[in-house]
Amino acid sequence: MFLKNRILVARCVKYRYFCIQQYNFMSKRIYLLFSLILMLSGISAQHSKREFRAVWVATVANIDWPSQRNLTPKAQRDEMRTMLDGLVKNNINAIILQIRPTADTFYPSTIEPWSHWLTGKQGQRPNPYYDPLQFIIDEAHKRCIDVHAWLNPYRVTNSDNLNVLNKNHLYFKNKDLFVKYGDKYYFDPGLDETREFLNRVVEDVVERYDVDAVHFDDYFYPYRVANEEFPDELTFRKNPRGYASNQKNDWRRNNVNMVISELQHTIKELKPWVEFGISPFGVWRNDNVDASGSATRAGVQNYDDLYADILKWLKEGTIDYVVPQLYWEIGKKVADYEVLAKWWSDNSFGKNLYIGLYASQLGSPEANPAWRNGNELCRQLNVNKRFPLIDGAVFFSAKPFLKNKQNLNDSLQKNYYKYPAICPVNRNIEGETPAQPQNVKILRDGKDAYLIWDELNEEGGCQTAYYVVYAFKGRKVGDLNDPANIVTRTIENCIDLRELDKRFGGLYTFVVTAVNRFKHESIPTFGVTRRL
pLDDT of residue 501: 62
pLDDT of residue 72: 97
DSSP for 113-137 reads PBPHHHHSSTTPPPSS---HHHHHH
Query: Is residue 253 predicted with pLDDT exceeding 70?
Result: yes
Alpha carbon distance 60, 156 (integer Å): 12
pLDDT of residue 375: 85
Across the range 469-476, mean pLDDT stands at: 92
Q: Which CATH number fits domain 2-33+432-531: 3.40.190.10, 2.70.70.10, 2.60.40.10, 3.30.10.20?
A: 2.60.40.10
For residues 45 and 173, the model is more confident at 173
In angstroms and rounded to an integer, the radius of gyration of the C-alpha atoms of the chain is: 24
* pLDDT tens, position by position, 92-108: 999 999 999 999 999 99
Query: Is residue 252 predicted with pLDDT exceeding 80?
Result: yes
Ranges of CATH 3.20.20.80 domains, the chain: 47-416
% of the chain beyond a pLDDT of 90: 82
Write the CB contacts of 220 (distance below 8 Å, at least 6 apart in sequence).
153, 154, 189, 256, 306, 307, 308
* pLDDT tens, position by position, 327-386: 999 999 999 999 999 999 999 999 999 999 999 999 988 888 999 887 899 999 999 999
Return the closest-CA partner of residue 440 out of 394, 389, 477, 479.
477
Three-class DSSP category at 240: coil
- 276 close to 428: Cβ distance less than 8 angstroms: no
Alpha carbon distance 292, 15 (integer Å): 51
Across the range 308-336, mean pLDDT stands at: 98
Across the range 35-62, mean pLDDT stands at: 71
pLDDT of residue 532: 60
Ranges of CATH 2.60.40.10 domains, the chain: 2-33+432-531
For residues 45 and 103, the model is more confident at 103
- Which residues is 467 bridged to in the sheet? 490, 514
Neighbours of 386 (CB within 10 A): 12
Query: Which of 219-223, 274-278, 472-476 is the least confident region?
Result: 472-476
pLDDT of residue 70: 85
pLDDT of residue 43: 37
- 136 close to 145: Cβ distance less than 8 angstroms: no
Alpha carbon distance 287, 510 (integer Å): 53
Query: Is residue 12 predicted with pLDDT exceeding 50?
Result: no
Query: Is residue 6 predicted with pLDDT exceeding 60?
Result: no
Domain 47-416, CATH homologous superfamily name and number: Glycosidases (3.20.20.80)
Query: Is residue 27 predicted with pLDDT exceeding 50?
Result: no
pLDDT interval class at 445 (50, 70, 90): confident
* pLDDT tens, position by position, 391-425: 999 999 999 888 899 999 999 999 999 999 999 99
* pLDDT tens, position by position, 105-126: 999 999 999 999 999 999 999 9
Alpha carbon distance 316, 515 (integer Å): 28
Across the range 66-95, mean pLDDT stands at: 97
pLDDT of residue 459: 94
Three-class DSSP category at 458: coil
Query: Is residue 454 predicted with pLDDT exceeding 90?
Result: yes
* pLDDT tens, position by position, 170-179: 999 999 999 9
What type of residue sits at position 262? E
The most confident of 314-318, 396-400, 493-497, 504-508, by mean pLDDT: 314-318
Q: What backbone phi and psi angles, to 5 degrees, belong to 383?
A: -60, -45
